[in-house]
Structure 1
Amino acid sequence: MMNKIFITGTDTDAGKTLVATTLLYKAQAQGLSCFGLKPIAAGCEWSYVEQEQEQEQGQWHNDDALFLQAASQPAQSYSVHNPFAFPQAIAPHIAATLNDQTLSVKSVLDACEVGLQQDVDFHLIEGAGGWLVPLNDNETLADLAQQLANKQGYKMVLVVGMKLGCINHALLTQQLILASGLELVGWVANHIDPEMSEQDANFAYLQGHIKAPCLGRIPYSPNIAAKDLIHHIEIPR
């Protein structure tokens, strides 16, 4: 089993969080401890979350990060799962500027130190948006993934949001990952558009051209909980 993976996607709405939480619940079903980390989340609400029968101070919370926290075993306080939480649902580097913060590979790794040190069987990091989402004028999430791979051995998993244009998006993302010398250990087809024509033909093409095993094919499932989808996916090995 691959115990450290970084999840990226073909675009913002590819379904990274659904795949990430499903993988965490899959790990739990196999008797594994697991931890989900979302370093940066944009699009948050101010709220209070109860943790171990004590109410935390009010802070910004993101639904995707809350899903990862809920699917982790054991779960930690919210800020360990999501250290950078911005209220605006916009590109992270812009959101950071609006909130008088600076994002960089170093600042993100420093903020994630506790999360990265979690001693679990299966550790998962979910990126924000797609592969080249900026952190600042000079660095992107790809640079963060590169550091995580080089320093801590993370492998890449690509989530393909199955819709018109996904073949181009998937193959471009794969090309960039492999050109960086990173290991792509799997991909997941997530059916996000029930009206997409020729879904099977698109899936077959991707299966033949992505140079990594398909870990699963998640059906269009807007009202199904991630824990009920674990039979559609496998943890990379």
Structure 2
Amino acid sequence: MLIFITATDTDAGKTWVTASVIRAMLSDGKSAKALKPIACGLDEAGRNEDIDALLSAQSLSDADQISLYRYALPAAPSQAAAAEDQVVDTEKLVQWCKAQSENVDTCLIEGVGGLMVPITDSWLVNDWIDATPDAEVWLVVGCKLGAINQTLLTLEKLKQMGRSPTRIFFNATKPEFNDWITPTRKAVEPFLNQGCTIHCLEFEEAVLLTD
């Protein structure tokens, strides 16, 4: 089973959700793996908080086990790669993710930012999702001012793609954003597909996300 975790924007909490889910799955003895195939914004050691969080959640140490492309510049992958005179090979990216999923029952693929983030100058995150037709889509909403608009735009795009999310996470990334969870959920809920599982996550809330 493949699960593609995307978000309404950058810093919405994708990594926190992905790490929490994979940690819960592994604690339950499930066969699972979480990937961060593209990571931008590396430190001098070639790591960042996202990579370290997913490695720690899986008791892994080698970034190559979960990540294919990593760039120093904290920018969209197309720009971060260009800064190093590189271009993401999208076919290789898709095939790498597929190969990584073959030895586990569940594979989580954490995307980059929102749906319209450019991976290359002609290929966006939504194209990555299109190229992974068997994956469930989970959507992480960073609850704050403007989140309703961002979420409804994202839901409309996913609907056009025929990939409406099976789970949605209303997430507060800071304590002061906790109060945005309920109004954001109430505004968005009428636009969700029937059967979409809803999670509301206050800042640093300890919760098992596999229920």
Work out whether the TM-score is over 0.5.
Answer: yes
Aligned-pair Cα RMSD in Å: 2.1
How much has 1:105 moved relative to structure 2? 2.2
Residues 213 and 234 from structure 1, CA distance in 2 versus in 1: closer, same or farther, beyond 3 angstroms?
farther
In structure 2, the residue corresponding to 1:64 is in which secondary structure?
Answer: helix
Contact 2:144 2:180 in 1 (8 A): no
- 2 CA distance for matches of 1:201 and 1:181? 27
What SS does the corresponding residue of 1:178 show, helix, strand or coil? helix
**Larger deviation: 29-38 or 87-96?**
29-38
In 1: Cα distance, 2:180 partner to 2:73 partner = 36
**Distance apart, 1:24 and its partner CA:** 0.6
Structure 1 residues without counterparts, runs of 5 or longer = 48-59
Residue identity (%) = 29
Q: Residue 83 of structure 1: CA displacement?
A: 1.0
**Residue 45 to residue 198, structure 1, CA distance change in 2 (3 Å):** closer
Which residue in 1 is equivalent to 2:23?
25
For residue 185 of structure 1, report the CA deviation from its aligned partner.
Answer: 0.9
Report the CA distance shift for 1:5/1:45 in structure 2 as closer, same or farther (over 3 A).
same
Change (3 A) 1:4 1:107: closer
**What does residue 68 of structure 2 align with?**
83
Deviations 1:78-136 (A, max 9, x none): 2130111101111110110111211242132245464243x112210000111110012
Query: Take 1:101 and 1:218, find their aligned partners in 2: how far apart are those partners?
Result: 37
For residue 210 of structure 2, what is the amino acid of its counterpart? E
Instruction: Provide the TM-score with structure 1 as the length reference.
Output: 0.80
User: Separation in 2 of the partners of 1:31 and 1:169?
Assistant: 36
* Contact in 1 for aligned 2:34/2:109 (Cα 8 Å): yes
Looking at structure 2, the residues matched to 110 and 199 of structure 1 have their Cα atoms a distance apart, in angstroms, of 36
**1:146 deviation in Å?**
0.8
| Residue 166 of structure 2 is aligned to residue 181 of structure 1 | no
Aligned residues: 209
Q: Higher Cα Rg: structure 1 or 2? A: 1
107, 119, 143: which one aligns with 1:135:
119
Shift of 1:193: 4.1
Name structure 2 gaps, 5 residues minimum. none
The answer to whether the aligner puts 1:166 opposite 2:147 as a matched pair is yes
AA at the equivalent of 1:230: V
1:115 pairs, out of 100, 125, 130, with 100
Cα distance change, pair 111–29 in 1 and its aligned pair in 2 (3 A): closer
- Following superposition, which runs of at least 4 residues in structure 1 exceed 6 angstroms of deviation? none
Q: Deviations over 1:44-81 (max 9, x none)?
A: 1232xxxxxxxxxxxx22220222122237x4732130
**Counterparts in 2 of 1:62 and 1:190: CA distance versus 1, 3 Å:** same
The 1-side partners of 2:42 and 2:126 are apart by 23
The aligned runs of 1:56-75 (5 Å cut-off) are 60-72=46-58, 75=60
Match of 1:44 among 42, 45, 63: 42
Distance 2:88 2:25 in 1: 31
Confirm whether residue 125 of structure 1 aligns to residue 109 of structure 2: yes
In structure 2, the partner of 1:51 is none
Q: Distance in 2 between matches of 1:66 and 1:146?
A: 28
State the AA in 1 paired with 2:24. Answer: K
Conserved in 1, the CA contact under 8 Å of 2:145 and 2:180? no
